[in-house]
Amino acid sequence: MRLLVLGGTVFLSKAVAAEALARGHDVVAVSRGVSGTVPPGVRHVVADRDAGLPAALAAEPFDAVVDVARRPSHVRTAVAAVPHAHWVFVSTINVYADEATPGGRPGTLPLRAAITEDADGPEPATYGGAKVACEVIVRAGAAGSTVVRPGLVVGPGDPTGRFTYWVARLARAAEQPDTPVLAPGDPADLVQVIDVRDLAAWLVDLAEARTDGVLDAVAPPVPLGDLLAEVAAGCGAAPAWRWAPRGALEAAGVVPWSGERSLPLWLPRPELGGMAAHDVTASLAAGLRPRPVADTARDTLAWLRATPGATVTGLTAAEEAEVLRALDGRHEG
Ligand SMILES: NC(=O)c1ccc[n+]([C@@H]2O[C@H](COP(=O)([O-])OP(=O)(O)OC[C@H]3O[C@@H](n4cnc5c(N)ncnc54)[C@H](OP(=O)(O)O)[C@@H]3O)[C@@H](O)[C@H]2O)c1
């Protein structure tokens, strides 16, 4: 297969390029070349999609395209340039307007309004709507397409540092078994992730098979307590957990999901209770094969240790200790 990867220099799109190459496909990747490098053996075409795809690429007979774009104009010009290929478009579960209902899947949850113009505003405000517009462009303009909506993508190379927070925290717990580990919400809260390598392999499968449709891309939901226990096992830890309910975390100034002073993977309920609780029966039937979370954690830890400056978001050790002290005081009071 001749595969065009739009991206190919970071995390997911780089893993797609590497996977396709390893399977013997002929892979061309397009990026500006500012975020990283393509895997060795992949042909790199340096271009800024703000100016559309280079005309020479439109003349090449690509069988499939994998695109991770966020800007509708990028997708519009690329689909117009390579309309005859099978498109695998990487979207997001942020296209869903309903973030509260568990058990949703494509077709059962309403979508956000499409934002058809490129927007440079704060990402969360425009990201999902822009992806809706990108999906529409691909579905309408390409000869065939698979729209894939990932939830939280995790594993070695993750530039966001969210799952990596737990890997780093539990690696520390392996060395300090007597210190409790602060955990958010209720251990029964559902959560789901997908290893970047499993997602990349599936995207290449979908391109090879020219699968038509719209599919979510996450492993089946599991209780957060089970997922964190698996991460701990992958990091060689068996800590004592200190689960803190939402009100206590908010009182201590802890932020959900990502960023400074956050506990990553924490999604306040009920308003975000559907985000990481999708029904992925159709995705598994279409060949998605998630590996055990403990394996992802072990490999992410190896990557983290080998990568100075790798991103880890969330509470610092001092902040966590401060929150634990506040929780104990609150408990006694
Ligand atoms: N991480 C998650 O948990 C998560 C969850 C749901 C969905 N997703 C989706 O998964 C995908 C992640 O993709 P990714 O890991 O490959 O990261 P990404 O940051 O989306 O990668 C963007 C790629 O496009 C290139 N690019 C950016 N601007 C460009 C431009 N103007 N012209 C040409 N190339 C450009 C970048 O290279 P240069 O900067 O060098 O040009 C890079 O190779 C995205 O579609 C994201 O929406 C992620």
Cα 109 to ligand 1 centre (Å):
25
In the predicted structure, residue 316 carries a pLDDT above the cut 60? yes
- Cα–Cα dist 156/315, whole Å: 20
Answer yes or no: do 129 and 248 share one domain: no
User: How far apart are alpha carbons 215 and 143 in whole angstroms?
Assistant: 18
Average pLDDT over residues 69-90: 98
CB 261 within 8 A of CB 197: no
Question: Is there a single domain that holds both residue 17 and residue 113?
Answer: yes
Q: What is the rounded distance in angstroms from the CA atom of residue 75 to the CA atom of residue 166?
A: 34
* Interval 247-256 mean pLDDT: 97
The reply to whether omega before 180 is within 30° of 0 (cis) is no
Token couple for 22: 């390893």
Mutate to test the pocket of ligand 1, among 5, 6, 10 (most ligand atoms within 8 A of CB): 10
| 44 backbone dihedrals φ, ψ, rounded to 5° | -100, 120
3-state SS assignment for residue 120: coil
Same-domain status, 251 and 136: no
The mean pLDDT value for 246-271 works out to: 97
CA-nearest residue for atom 48, ligand 1, is: 153
Question: Which of 117, 150, 183 finishes a domain?
Answer: 150
pTM of the model: 0.97
Nearest Cα residue to 147 out of 213, 93, 193: 213
Phi, psi for residue 38 in degrees, rounded to 5 = -85, 160
The residue behind tokens 């929780």 is 327
pLDDT band, residue 119 (cuts 50/70/90)? confident
Q: What are the pLDDT digits (tens) for 168-225?
A: 999 999 999 999 999 999 999 999 999 999 999 999 999 999 999 999 999 999 999 9
Question: Could you tell which of 11, 19, 35, 313 is best to mutate to test the pocket of ligand 1, judged by most ligand atoms within 8 Å of the CB?
Answer: 35
pLDDT at site 332: 43
Cα of 178 from ligand 1 centre, angstroms? 40
Residues 326 and 187 in one domain: yes
Q: Residue 106 falls within a domain, yes or no?
A: yes
Q: Which of 5, 11, 13 to mutate to test the pocket of ligand 1 (most atoms within 8 A of CB)?
A: 13
Quote the domain boundaries for residue 164. Answer: 155-192+222-272+292-332
Q: How many domains does the chain have?
A: 2
Residues 134 and 165 in one domain: no
Structure tokens, 120: 């440079």
